[in-house]
Structure 1
Amino acid sequence: MNSPLLVVGHGTQSEAGVADFGRFVERLARRMDGTPVTGGFIELSRPPLTEAVAALYADGHRHVAAVPLVLVGAGHGKGDIPGAMAREIVRHPGLSYAYGRPLGPHPALLALLEERLEAVLPDDGDRSGGGTAVLLVGRGSTDPDANAEVHKVARLFWEGRGAGGPSQGHGLSAVEPAFISLARPSVPEGLERLRRLGAERIVVLPYFLFSGVLPDRVVAESREWAASHPDLDVRYAEVIGDCDGLADLVVERYAEALRGDIRMNCDTCVYRIAMPGFEDRVGAPQTPHHHPDDPSGHGHGHGHHHDPEHGPEQGRGHGHGHLHAR
């Protein structure tokens, strides 16, 4: 039998986000005909990861490829999900797993962002007129490596699409990053920066996979700012969403994991390198989140800042999950 694909999400308080995740797992199952595919969350929503693993184990599978459904290598992908998988190893004797790397940055994601941008721009052939700019909004993290990656994605998206660039793209005047939680610039700060740079049309482009509390907040904060600037044309793109392009990327990460080709970036990871201002995080132990449907019934006890959608962003351990996979 092929090793199953286990898609691991963080979880969301949004029913729409849970439904997006479920539809996406079903899409992957159709895409990978003959390979078992299932998914679960580490907290906040059903189905819990432990049920997904238990079902695979009951079906006789002893090795799985776990792909974290995250865009950047922040605490969830580096510590929480590997910690949860380590707990499942203890619960299921003989079980082992290969761990995939985060989805981004990847050209496929840039192409999907391009599609979301296209959908909200005018269809009159005038894509560069009016100083069109993009605000790429990420989740935000206390992990500087994760925040830097959002900046990298913004730059990669702008390259070739900027005014006077080599491609026949939109001729965007600027692509600036912003964050909805835990990091700056905030959404209003990012919008104000683009206004001062001369943008007359701004597309708010969420760097999120599915619907959720935070993507909704991105739109709400953007609309509030736009209401105070009626002279600007502010538009709102959709999240990446359940689509074939995203499914192809997850399948690619699945294949990489089974080959042992993970290529994780450890050079700027605060859990391995004493980055200035984050020295206390080096070598911190892993602690999995508590899921309300997990039979253990124990909380994670991080005791740090909790985001209403994604939980704590400090105090989680990390040893690079792929090195702990067995």
Structure 2
Amino acid sequence: MKKKLIKGNEAIAEAAIKAGCKLFFGYPITPSTEIVEYLSKHLPKAGGTLLQGEDEIASINMCYGAACTGARVMTASSSPGYSLKQEGLSYLAAAELPVVVVNINRTGPGLGGLGPCQSDYFQCTKGGGHGDYRLLVLAPSKGQEMYDYTLAAFDLADKYRNPVLILADGFLGQMMEPIVLKDRPDAELPVKDWVTDGCLGRAKRKIASYSLTNEIGEQNNLYWEGKYQAIREQEQRWEEFRTDDADYLIAAYGTCARIAKTVVLQARARGIKLGLVRPITLWPFPEKAFAPYRGKVKGVLTVELNTGQMIEDVRLALECSVPVSLHRRLGGMLPHEDEVLAALIQQFNIPLDREV
């Protein structure tokens, strides 16, 4: 199959077209702007429509209305813009409307800067908006996954009637890599008999989220809780690298996971049995990936582009049975392999068999 050299953002946009996305509503913001630019040129050629909303709040609510028709809908933004979408995301989840959302994470807080960061982890995995709701969150670590996970996101959104988020940092969005532009794999998707198509009485239920009584409100929340529990059981995804005999683990996602693979190889060259567990779904967090290592490894180092956010989920997944430490860089800075390895050795006081 032929490969095409494109940016990660463009890979997401091309995958959306391949997945059958027909409607995009968004507002340009660095470092995600190429998604809007690419789709504005190519989506109309595929029979779709792109509309630049007056802001991110308008755009996410346009997604709500469009998703009610059953069309495949998408929006994209970066951290400050994603913050403005939170109320709309809560409404989408409550109304059970499938929409694919992209957040190309930049630094914060506030306007921050344009460099790569992972400081939106809490916001993206713990809800962000009001109420008890969840988004499925997929975290690619290379250009090909920016493409592949976008294809998967549309299917997951339809399967669970829930917003699905692609969370990547600015480095992945801007970096150019050769991508295989595969077609969307066949998936058995549910019939959308809930759409608002103008025919009175045909939809199984109205699309709404308001509870007129507390009793109905509790029933609704218990329903959503059961739905999210089913997703938690069925959709945990992760990758393991050199973990079979590992004494120590690195936990990292996105760009940090790319760096961590080299750290694993460098550590093993120095006699340290190190492995990597890379969460692919940040929600549901892959607790099943970490369960086998409870009390069995000597330490876990999370590598993050924030002050320490995913580390909390790692500790919970390991049930505090293993020491968990953090190495982080901030403000758009990326860690070097040597500094990550040095942090691992120092924080867990690892004796070395040999120097390189």
Structure with the higher fraction of residues in strand conformation: 2
| TM-score of the superposed pair, with normalisation by structure 2 | 0.27
Considering Cα pairs closer than 8 Å and 6+ residues apart, tell me whether 1 or 2 has the greater RCO. Answer: 1
